[in-house]
Structure 1
């Protein structure tokens, strides 16, 4: 598999706040890779540093050390002009589908905006908007409506369509379904999987929920307090985790079947007894 994204020894330190506050190192030398048409799930608790990885890839946070390479090109400290060009290939889906959409613009204007920025003609942009709405399962007349007229799940579909508008090669998905109910989560995840199969887009999928990551990812990297503690195929990491932290995340992941929860706890106890 051809490597699309390579993060090597990434370090991020935030300055301390207040009198005599010490700098806080958020990432301690994180390394990971993502292949073309692959989904890498990055999972960890709040404050683990997972979102910071995505922000470094997007150029929203400047690392204090290490490199970020996209298609073998070093983009760690890319300038404004280079970042604008990279926006065609690297897009993002944020957690809150409402706050990430301009409430005063119609859906058609929201979807056409990134196309116009990159010089797409008006007629071609309108055609692309209709194509995107169909791709995410929304009616054509949605282009004339405002974000507030849609449900949370529908707004997230709009956010996905906006990210896909310039036909990117990589989408950073930062907790894209955590604000949705379980049924809507499943529908949106299935939508993302279907889009990947059709277009070959790669996802860096960031989440605190191991069950969600398992549903969509090919591989999973588990991050704890700024360090990657376990990486492997999604099926192995989410069913037979080796690191105690991953085991705790698995136990915390919600399941509807009480018997499955008891089996998980028993399995973890057995591993601890063997250790």
Structure 2
């Protein structure tokens, strides 16, 4: 078997707390996962589950307190800031909010050319690359001369995707990249992610609170609950026949058009929430 592009083993993330001798607060409790080249791993969970922290740890934006992260066979767990900057050519990110992730004072062309110029590209070559990127994400070439405020949310997210693609990465961490968009725009942007993956072979770590979104785009899914991956497997298996009560609750949270069936879903969610609470109490008692 081919070695994975990215592997996390026993990954833990803890943040320091103000106060004398107060121990750090652990947010992620030893998770394991792998991402192959050209593959999408969806990480899904409710707000506060720790899913975004996992992505930030991979990017070096959250403090790894335990375990290890390997990229292309290299241990990047304790990379310095300089080593991280070099690695950013291969690992990029698309953030959640297309309105705040772009510099409002820079044209789209300047935004896309900036990381290329920093890497030593000459201006003419960077300009050609910018035009290619705009075409790749379905934006007109004249967009290069315009400012972010002249674009819709979906178009801005296309610019953010183009910026992530600029250095030719092998892995992109996608942190809730469609959650700020309306439903029709979400579908268009997700299809764009899929098309780009087919064309370039880039891998995605796709973080979302929406199981339907993750189901649409992912090859495999990891379900995060209270800082742990409680279920992981092929997308169809996890989203069609989930084993863990928390995953079942996420699946039932998706609304459907049938009022009777929707009422039954609400009742099932209440039952599963009670079951999960009971299991959590038992786990707390076992650790006490």
Report the TM-score range of the alignment, normalised by the length of the smaller protein.
over 0.9
Secondary structure in 2 aligned to 1:160?
A: helix
* Cα shift at 1:50: 0.8
1:43 matched to which residue of 2? 44
Tell me the TM-score normalised to structure 1 length. 0.93
**CA RMSD between the two structures:** 2.1
**Within 5 A, what are the aligned runs for 1:194-233?**
194-233=195-234
Secondary structure in 2 aligned to 1:148?
A: helix
Secondary structure in 2 aligned to 1:64?
A: strand
Gaps of 5+ in 2: 276-288
1:93 matched to which residue of 2? 94
Secondary structure in 1 aligned to 2:178?
A: coil
2:135 matched to which residue of 1? 134
Tell me the TM-score normalised to structure 2 length. 0.89
State the distance in 2 between where 1:119 and 1:220 align. Answer: 38
Instruction: Classify 1:226/1:212 alpha carbon distance in 2 versus 1 (closer, same or farther; 3 Å).
Output: same
Q: Deviations over 1:73-110 (max 9, x none)?
A: 00011112211111110000000011110000000000
35-44 or 245-254: bigger deviation: 245-254
Tell me if the contact between 1:89 and 1:168 (Cα under 8 Å) persists in the aligned partners.
yes
Q: Deviations over 1:175-232 (max 9, x none)?
A: 0000001110000000000000000000000011101100100000001001110001
**Within 5 A, what are the aligned runs for 1:4-83?**
4-17=5-18, 22-83=23-84
Instruction: Classify 1:183/1:29 alpha carbon distance in 2 versus 1 (closer, same or farther; 3 Å).
Output: same
* Cα shift at 1:262: 6.1
1:168 matched to which residue of 2? 169
Tell me if the contact between 2:253 and 2:269 (Cα under 8 Å) persists in the aligned partners.
no
Tell me if the contact between 2:252 and 2:268 (Cα under 8 Å) persists in the aligned partners.
no
Instruction: Classify 1:257/1:77 alpha carbon distance in 2 versus 1 (closer, same or farther; 3 Å).
Output: farther
* Cα shift at 1:124: 1.0
* Cα shift at 1:261: 4.1
Q: Deviations over 1:127-170 (max 9, x none)?
A: 11000001111011000000000000000000000000011000
Q: Deviations over 1:240-265 (max 9, x none)?
A: 10000000011112344557646867
Tell me if the contact between 2:14 and 2:63 (Cα under 8 Å) persists in the aligned partners.
no
1:181 matched to which residue of 2? 182
Tell me if the contact between 2:16 and 2:23 (Cα under 8 Å) persists in the aligned partners.
yes
**Structure 1 runs (4+) greater than 6 angstroms displaced:** 265-272
